[in-house]
A = this chain, B = another copy of it.
Amino acid sequence: MKCGLVAADGAVLHRETRSTPRALPPSGGGGRAVLDALLETVVELSQKAAADGHRVRAVGVVVPGIIDAEQGTVSAENLLWVNTPVRAEIQAALGPDHQVHLAHDVRAGGYAELRQGALRGTTNSLFLPLGTGIAAAMVVDGSLVSGDGYAGELGHTRFVHGEAAELCACGQYGCLETVASAAALARRYGARTGRVVDGAREVLELLAEGDADAAIVWDEALTALIDALVLYTTLVAPTRIAIGGGLVGAGETLLAPLRAGVHERLTFQREPEIVAAELGEEAGCLGAALLAWDRVTVDESGEQTE
C-alpha cells in the first residue's frame, strides 16, 4: 500500500509504504481485513498531518478494481471486495466533512503525469504503462477520459492476428497485453525456450547479452506496440505519449525502436513525441491525492490551500 500526504499545490509532504494484509483464504482475513488496514492508514496519516500542523481535507484512494464513483463503492477480486462502501467507511472514520475520491489506478497515474510529470503542458496525450498488464490513460482536450470507467483499454485491443493470436485473460484473442506486457515477455520467452525466467527483467538481460529467443520475443512486443501507438495516433492525435510501467526501465532499448517504428509508419498523421513517464511507481499515489484535491476545489470555492 503506497500512501502519503500531499499539499494542495501537489508537493509531497510525506510518503510511506505499508504492507497490505492478505485477503484470500486460507491465511487471509478477507476483504474486511484489507479495509481495516486502509482505514487505519487513513486515520494514522491524518493524525500525522495534524501533528505536523496540517489538516487533511480530502482522501484519494486508488484501487485495482471496478469503481462506482456515484455510490462510492469498489469491487476488487484480489481484495475480496464486492461493492465495498469505501467512501462511507472513510468518512465514518475521519468525519463526513472529508472529500473522498475513488479512482482507477492507471487514470490516477496518468493524471499525475499530466499535472506534474511527463505529460505536463499537453492537452491531448497518452499515458501507457507497460507492467504486468497494459491499460492506458487518455488525455483529451486537457482532461482524463473515463468512459464511466471503461475507457482506455488499449491493452485489450487486438494487435496479433491469425494463428499467432493467444487467448487473453479478458476472453479476447491477440490483445496487446498478450504480447507486450512485462508478464507476456516472461511467459513467451519461457514458452519458446522451456526455461523459466525471473520476469521481464531477465528477458531484457538476455536480450542485452544477444540471446536470439529474447530478441524474437522482444521484436514481437515492439511490433505490436508500434501498431498500437500508430492506431492511437491516427484516432486521437496525441502530441505526446509517455510510456510507463516496469518495461520503461529498458530505456532507449524500448523507446528508440518505438519512435523509429512509429515515425516510419505515419503518413498524414501528426507525429507524437514518445517519452518515458517521469513519476514511476509513485504516479498512482500522487494522482489519487491530486484528484482528491480537485474535489475540494470543485466543492468549496476560495479557501483551497492549507
* Binary contact track A213-248/B, C-beta < 8 Å → 1, others 0: 000000000000001001110111110000000000
Tell me if A70 is interfacial: C-beta within 8 Å of chain B: no
Residue contact A147 to B124, C-beta cutoff 8 Å? yes
Q: What chain B residues lie within 8 Å of A78 (beta carbons)?
A: none
* Binary contact track A146-162/B, C-beta < 8 Å → 1, others 0: 11101111101110011
- Within the assembled complex, what's the spacing in Å between the Cα atoms of A181 and B162? 24
Chain A contact patch, size range: 35 or more
Name A239's closest neighbour in chain B (CB-CB).
B148
User: Chain B nearest CB: distance from A99 CB in Å?
Assistant: 21
- Within the assembled complex, what's the spacing in Å between the Cα atoms of A231 and B174? 12
Q: What chain B residues lie within 8 Å of A238 (beta carbons)?
A: 147
Residue contact B141 to A237, C-beta cutoff 8 Å? no
Pairs A–B under 8 Å by Cβ, sample size 27: A124-B147, A138-B236, A140-B141, A140-B145, A141-B145, A141-B146, A147-B236, A147-B237, A148-B237, A150-B237, A150-B269, A151-B237, A152-B235, A153-B235, A153-B268, A153-B269, A154-B234, A154-B235, A158-B227, A158-B230, A158-B231, A171-B267, A171-B268, A172-B265, A172-B267, A231-B231, A232-B235
8 Å CB interface, A261-306 against B: 265, 267-270
Tell me if A212 is interfacial: C-beta within 8 Å of chain B: no
Chain A at the B interface: SS class: loop
Q: What chain B residues lie within 8 Å of A83 (beta carbons)?
A: none
- Within the assembled complex, what's the spacing in Å between the Cα atoms of A267 and B168? 11
8 Å CB interface, A159-187 against B: 161-162, 170-172
* Binary contact track A199-222/B, C-beta < 8 Å → 1, others 0: 000000000000000000000000
Partner of A234, one of B145, B157, B267: B157
* Binary contact track A123-150/B, C-beta < 8 Å → 1, others 0: 0100000000000101011010111101
- Within the assembled complex, what's the spacing in Å between the Cα atoms of A153 and B232? 10
Interface residues of A (CB under 8 A from B): 124, 136, 138, 140-141, 143, 145-148, 150-154, 156-158, 161-162, 170-172, 227, 230-232, 234-238, 265, 267-270
| Apart from A124-B147, A140-B141, A150-B237, 11 more pairs, CB < 8 Å | A138-B235, A141-B143, A145-B236, A147-B238, A150-B269, A150-B270, A153-B269, A156-B268, A158-B230, A161-B161, A162-B162
Residue contact B141 to A124, C-beta cutoff 8 Å? no
Q: What chain B residues lie within 8 Å of A234 (beta carbons)?
A: 153-154, 156-157
Q: What chain B residues lie within 8 Å of A148 (beta carbons)?
A: 124, 237, 270
Q: What chain B residues lie within 8 Å of A136 (beta carbons)?
A: 235
Partner of A157, one of B154, B161, B231: B231
- Within the assembled complex, what's the spacing in Å between the Cα atoms of A140 and B151? 10
Q: What chain B residues lie within 8 Å of A269 (beta carbons)?
A: 150, 153, 156
